[in-house]
Amino acid sequence: MAELDHIHIRDLRLRCVIGLYEWERKEKQDVIVNITIHADLTAAGRSDNLDDTVDYKAIKKEIITFVEGSGFNLVEALAEGIADICLGNEKVMGCEVTVDKPGALRFARSVAVEISRERRR
């Protein structure tokens, strides 16, 4: 993925039901999502046309709808679903997704899961 260009969506703050314990499933909790999208942005850089790039606003909207309506036990499963949304865009060749769950551990600011996924060739 190093030869591709990157689009970063940083610090997307959302709320969802996430966790294994009964008390975690009663109310939505904060999660912070960071995404790096890998794509070839050469055509967009030359044309200055939205049709030639990854519509990251559309991806963000789909992620918001997905996360806020989700109810996963594991942060890993939430991250996997977000990666699937990114890879659902034909221009996206790969992505890294980090999901932070603030306050998940006592004495720690946050716990985060980071995954990397590539489009299957």
Distances (CA, A) of 13 to 59, 65, 89, 91: 15, 13, 22, 25
Task: Write down how long the chain is.
Answer: 121
pLDDT band (50, 70, 90) for residue 103: confident
Q: For residues 10-21, give the mean pLDDT.
A: 96
**Domains within the chain, CATH numbers bracketed:** 5-118 (3.30.1130.10)
* 112 vs 104, higher pLDDT: 112
Neighbours of 29 (CB within 10 A): 17
Which of 26, 57, 60, 101 is flagged as catalytic? Answer: 101
pLDDT band (50, 70, 90) for residue 1: low
Percent over 70 (pLDDT), the chain: 98
Q: Which residues of 98-111 are buried (b: 16+ CB within 10 A; e: fewer)?
A: bbbbeebeeeeeee
Q: What pLDDT sits at residue 15? A: 97
Any catalytic annotation for residue 101?
yes
Q: How many Å apart are CA 96 and CA 35, to the nearest integer?
A: 6
Percent over 90 (pLDDT), the chain: 88
